[in-house]
Amino acid sequence: MAMLYLASKLNYKNLNVELMKHFSRLQTSDDQGVIRTNTIVCLGKIAAHLNPSLRGRLLISAFGRGTQDPFGPSRQASIYALYHSERFFTLKDIATKILPIVCHATIDPELDVRQQAFKTINLFIKKLETVSEKPELAIEMEKDVNSSNVTGIANETSWTSWALTSLSSNIGKLTTKPQQPSVNLTLAKSDSQSALANASTSTTTTTTVKS
């Protein structure tokens, strides 16, 4: 949750190396689907701050991994992430790396994931078709790929929009494990965090009564 505000202030190593290692660990090792989903959401929101020489590779790796997550909301978040981060990908990466990933999601067991996959495919196909017809537009389409002077306003707005409406409204249908708690994709607190807070409150109350 803090990274949404701290990412722009971190130095190169802490942001592009250490934080990415931490995010990778959360994606592959954390047993809570909520945390894995929030990791995808957070990465998408801070993408504009990543170093351009690493950004495309980092995003494709993380979002691609997310499309294989057993937790439905994480898979959908990953497809949304690819869609809303399209300006950071080269045309070559779109054709050779991203489209194969998203095409696989068209056979996802969840309808909402499949629908978003087709929407994302259409976006990327349209970009490729446009450049095929007018090759001179390639430079304009890739202007943000290698730029470190990218504002996060437009990206933040779109991500906030889908996180609060499209995805959260369908969270019940997407959850692959019915016993999982509902997920607030504006970076929700995990059950363990809530339990810890409750335990702390309980301990404080008991101590006060004894004294």
C-alpha closest to that of 174 among 105, 86, 122, 102 = 105
Q: Hey, what are 124's tokens?
A: 């990327």
pLDDT digit string, tens, across residues 73-112: 999 999 999 999 999 999 999 999 999 999 999 999 999 9
In single-letter form, the type of residue at position 70 comes to P
pLDDT digit string, tens, across residues 3-21: 989 999 999 999 999 999 9
**Cα–Cα distance for residue pair 166/112, rounded to 1 Å:** 10
CATH code for the part of the protein at 3-210: 1.25.10.10
pTM (two decimals): 0.74
C-alpha closest to that of 86 among 111, 112, 63 = 63
